Amino acid sequence: MLYIDHCFRAFVVGLFLLVAALPALGAPSHVSPAESGPALAQTGAPGLEYRDPSQAPPAWGQFAKLVKYRFETWISANEAVANRFRAYLTDHAGKENGPPQTLIVRAWLNPDGTVERVSFPTLNDAQADKDLHTILMRGNIGEAPPPEMLQPLNLRFTLNIKSKKK
């Protein structure tokens, strides 16, 4: 049986800043159920600016690490929505139609550091999709994105549910 590690942050491992790489690579752009509208049509437009992560300014990588830290903190919070989301991951890990091992989260941030919107591939569970969307939209990253930082940030999370024997 799988148990969540007490620190609750161990299941989210790894982050790669792929600034706007998905459209440039031709990967499908999946959107969370809570998101729709004409603004999304612009994200996959040809000619969208792209910068190789190795060529991005250091401030972009530092900001991406901060976003990672905030998202992990919000997912690990000891509150009803986050607890339910982590329970979904634990209960469905490795099962057919369960959560993927890797999850790409696209995040747009406002100049004041609040999360404007997020999108991610469906988790094949409407409640889990809604919960993750709620968690990731819940607050302020704590600082403004660096000037001229390309958005969205495409953040790759590896979901690694730690097993722990009692």
Cβ atoms of 157 and 102 within 8 Å: the answer is yes
In a domain, 88, yes or no: yes
Task: Please give the average per-residue pLDDT across 89-95, as a whole number.
Answer: 91
pLDDT at 146 over 50: yes
Indicate whether 4 belongs to any domain: no
Q: What is the pTM of this model?
A: 0.69
Please tell me which of 16-30, 105-119, 149-163 the model is most confident about, judged by mean pLDDT: 105-119
In a domain, 42, yes or no: no
Choose between 28 and 132: higher pLDDT.
Answer: 132
103 located within any domain: yes
Instruction: Give 159's pLDDT tier (boundaries 50, 70, 90).
Output: confident
* Mean of the per-residue pLDDT values of the chain: 74
Tell me, yes or no, whether 86 lies in a domain.
yes
Whether 128 maps to a domain, the answer reads yes
pLDDT, tens digit (0-9, with 9 covering 90-100), for 47-72: 456 667 788 899 999 999 999 999 98
3-state helix/strand/coil string of the chain: CCCCCCCCCCCEECCCECCCHHHHHCCCCCCCCCCCCHHHHHHHCCCCCCCCHHHCCHHHHHHHHHHHHHHHHHHHCCCHHHHHHHHHHHHHCCCCCCCCCEEEEEEEECCCCEEEEEECCCCCCHHHHHHHHHHHCCCECCCCCCCCCCCCEEEEEEECCCCCCC
* Residue numbers of the domain that contains 73: 12-35+58-159
Instruction: Let me know if residue 112 belongs to a domain.
Output: yes
Across 102-106, average pLDDT: 94
Across the range 129-146, mean pLDDT stands at 96
Residue with tokens 């958005």: 151
pLDDT over threshold 50, residue 80: yes
Window from 40-44, 51-55, 90-94, 95-99 with minimum mean pLDDT? 40-44
In a domain, 150, yes or no: yes
Quote the number of domains for the chain: 1
